[in-house]
Amino acid sequence: MTAELPPGLAIQKVDERIMTLNVGPQHPGSGHMRIIVQIDGDYIVACDPDPGYVHRGEEKMAEYRNYITNIPHLERPVIHDSCNVLYPYVLGVEELLGIEVPERAKYVRVICSELNRCIYTMYWLAIYGIFLGHSTMFMWPAGDRELLIDLMEKISGARVTHAHFVPGGVRNDLPPNFEEVCLRQVNYFEKRIKEYAAVFYDNPILISRTRDTGVLSREDAIRLGTTGSVLRASGVDYDLRQKEPYDVYEELDVHSNVMKEGDSYARSKVPWLDMMESCNIIRQALQKMPKSGSVRVKLKPNPKGKGLDSVYKRVESGRGSLGCHIVSDGKVEPYRLKLSVGSFRNLIALPYLLKGEKLGNMPSVYWSLNYWPVEADR
């Protein structure tokens, strides 16, 4: 026992009262990660998240592929939010190569990214519902998100993995008649999600399970560096679409949803409010979009950066700010690519929030962090 352990391993001594519980990776309330929880009776005294079950080495693989062939595998971390996860990479490559994007392509990108944000949030909401044992809240969002998936399928041809954004614009133009169909679907979608209030958000069972659990104060949200809905549920008004508008977001009227409470209820409500905001943005973008024009700048084969250079671009994804740090050395492959993802940044709040909570509240706190393990592990 006294032998020297390799780095990364440690022997832990715990109290006899304290029980250590492994939650995951095979657990209905954990997803693809393990949470090592130490409980005293029913209360959690310590919690150690153990991610990495889906660590696939995307960043290493990116160093062996050129800027275009990197596209398909870089959207795999969040396949149901694939436009947003690709967005900062595409923006960064455009800055590295010095490409100007046509106006219509920017609007198409905004529409795709907002549709994808809704698709992601609906899936998240469905899982949140089933975590809390609310079967209706699994069935309704899981069914309604198919409406928007149909729209994305019309645009790109694939259900979830679109690979639609490319450096220099988008891969294809919108199909004919898309504007009317999109407007109709989005209006119906907005009407549907407003009905969720009656069955889920005003439901006294949900309120009693999530109110005042896992409270994250404003100061702690800033100090822990959380992002996205977690941050905005704690009263910090920070939405990158407003603060650092990329593409055409500065021409659109974006409203960010902020709640003061910072508990699980607020964290579960902010994404829902965001979806209505997304519907607004899609309608505005459809109105302001140029009716015709090119959507893509043709690139030369094997585009390269100009010497040693680095960019850091970020966008607001379904899980908060998503940054991409690309270091180029003038070759066709990136020298180093790092994705700074919202899920990974919010993970640090989990041990902090779970301390002192009851074990039964763990799923509601954990999933309210808007966490997608595949993205966090990359």
Question: Which residues, 138 to 157, sit near another protein by CB under 8 A?
Answer: 139, 142-143, 145-146
Cβ within 8 Å of residue 373, ≥6 positions away: 31, 32, 33, 51, 53, 54, 343
CB 50 within 8 A of CB 33: yes
CB 376 within 8 A of CB 343: yes
Q: How far is the CB of 207 from another protein (least distance, A)?
A: 25
Q: Which of 111, 126, 206, 282 binds another protein (CB under 8 A)?
A: 126
Q: How far is the CB of 127 from another protein (least distance, A)?
A: 7
Count of residues engaged in binding another protein, rule: CB under 8 A: 80
Q: Toward another protein, which CB reaches closer, 51 or 214? A: 51
Asked if 303 touches another protein (CB under 8 A), the answer is: no
Q: Toward another protein, which CB reaches closer, 113 or 295? A: 113
Rounded to whole angstroms, the Cα distance separating 188 from 182 reads 10
Cα separation values, 3 from 8, 10, 12, Å: 14, 11, 14
Q: Toward another protein, which CB reaches closer, 295 or 341? A: 341
Q: How far is the CB of 376 from another protein (least distance, A)?
A: 9
Q: Report which residue type is found at 159.
A: R
Asked if 95 touches another protein (CB under 8 A), the answer is: yes
Asked if 88 touches another protein (CB under 8 A), the answer is: no
Asked if 358 touches another protein (CB under 8 A), the answer is: no
Asked if 32 touches another protein (CB under 8 A), the answer is: yes
Q: Toward another protein, which CB reaches closer, 206 or 337? A: 337
Residue 19 structure tokens: 């029980």
Nearest alpha-carbon partner for 119 in 149, 84, 83: 149
Choices 27-35, 37-45, 186-194, 199-207 (CB under 8 A): range interacting with another protein = 27-35
| Burial environment of residue 165 by CB neighbours within 10 A (0 to 12, 13 to 18, 19 or more) | buried
Asked if 297 touches another protein (CB under 8 A), the answer is: no
DSSP state of 358: B
Residue 305 CB-half CA count within 13 A: 21
36 DSSP β-pair partners: 22, 48
Q: Report which residue type is found at 333.
A: E
Binding mask 319-338 for another protein (x = CB under 8 A): --x-x-x-x-xxx-x-xx-x
Q: Which of 41, 72, 175, 293 binds another protein (CB under 8 A)?
A: 72
Q: Report which residue type is found at 291.
A: K
Q: How far is the CB of 293 from another protein (least distance, A)?
A: 25
